[in-house]
Amino acid sequence: MTHALGIDIGGTGIKGAVVDTATGELVSERKKIATPKSGKPDAIVKVVVELIAQLGGISPNMPVGVCFPAIVHNGKTMSAANISDEWIGLEAEKLFEKALGRDIHFVNDADAAGVAEVRYGAAKGVPGLVLLTTLGTGIGSALIYNGTLVPNSELGHLQIGGRDAEKGASFSAKERRRLSWKSWAKRLQRYYSHLELLFSPDLILVGGGVSKSHEKFLPLLKLNAPIIPATLRNNAGILGAAGLAVKE
């Protein structure tokens, strides 16, 4: 079976669709429900159940993938980004499986997006090491080597100048400090040069909403590896989660 359900849980919205994982195309309508303001586990699980009901339910044999804004280690959520701290240390995968009555594949949201770009998007067919970064409230990241995910890279938390890189180089930092594109690009140059020094990637992808304006800042960066915008945008998490579920 190539059809799978992908659920993408974010700090502001929870969205999902059925995906043809052979082609990366949505084969159902994409549904979205606002994330509960509390961000608490029971509230989010309830919305996921409601979302699946809006999609018409899922057949007994359809794989289900769920991506989530947290470090995911052996099914536990070990951090919490824009959601309740009650997720930290929680057996989240088991929580969703109990509510849905089935096994799922549970993964970090940036990791899911990275896998989607490699399978269906801007990095399709690229061998070697692909590094995805998402520039938003923070900096998310994914490392994929010859199609295999290296999970939970969390490269936004690299220490540069004595603090987390995302505090100075995220898109929210640009907005907060009212930086010009040129000034922000200098910060990005420092960040991506550091990533190149550590990983020597074959391709760097830049996602997040600001990637729509990539022509304003990516040409200002001078790196050895090509650095290009991600292409799947709001569907990346859904596609990646669904694709990883089928692989399982």
| DSSP state letter for 90 | B
- Rounded Cα gap, residues 157 and 138, in angstroms: 9
Q: Which of 202, 141, 143, 138 is nearest to 175 (CA)?
A: 138
Q: Residue 47, SS3?
A: helix
Token pair of 172 as six digits: 């929210």
- Rounded Cα gap, residues 208 and 234, in angstroms: 9
Give the pLDDT confidence of 5-62 residue by residue, as tens digits: 999 999 889 999 999 999 999 999 999 999 999 999 999 999 999 999 999 998 889 9
Note the pLDDT of residue 81: 77
Q: Residue 174, SS3?
A: helix
Note the pLDDT of residue 16: 97
- Maximal C-alpha separation, the chain: 52
What is the pTM for the complete model shown? 0.94
| DSSP state letter for 100 | H
**DSSP-based helix, strand, coil % in the chain, nearest 5:** 40, 25, 35
Q: For residues 45 and 80, is the Cβ–Cβ distance under 8 A?
A: no
Structural domains of the chain ordered from first start: 3-111+235-247 (3.30.420.40), 124-231 (3.30.420.40)
- What tens-digit pLDDT sequence spans the chain (248 residues)? 699 999 999 988 999 999 999 999 999 999 999 999 999 999 999 999 999 999 999 888 999 999 999 999 999 999 987 789 999 999 999 999 999 999 999 999 999 999 999 999 999 999 999 999 999 989 999 999 999 999 999 999 999 989 999 999 999 999 999 999 999 999 999 999 999 999 999 999 999 889 999 999 999 999 999 999 999 988 999 999 999 999 65
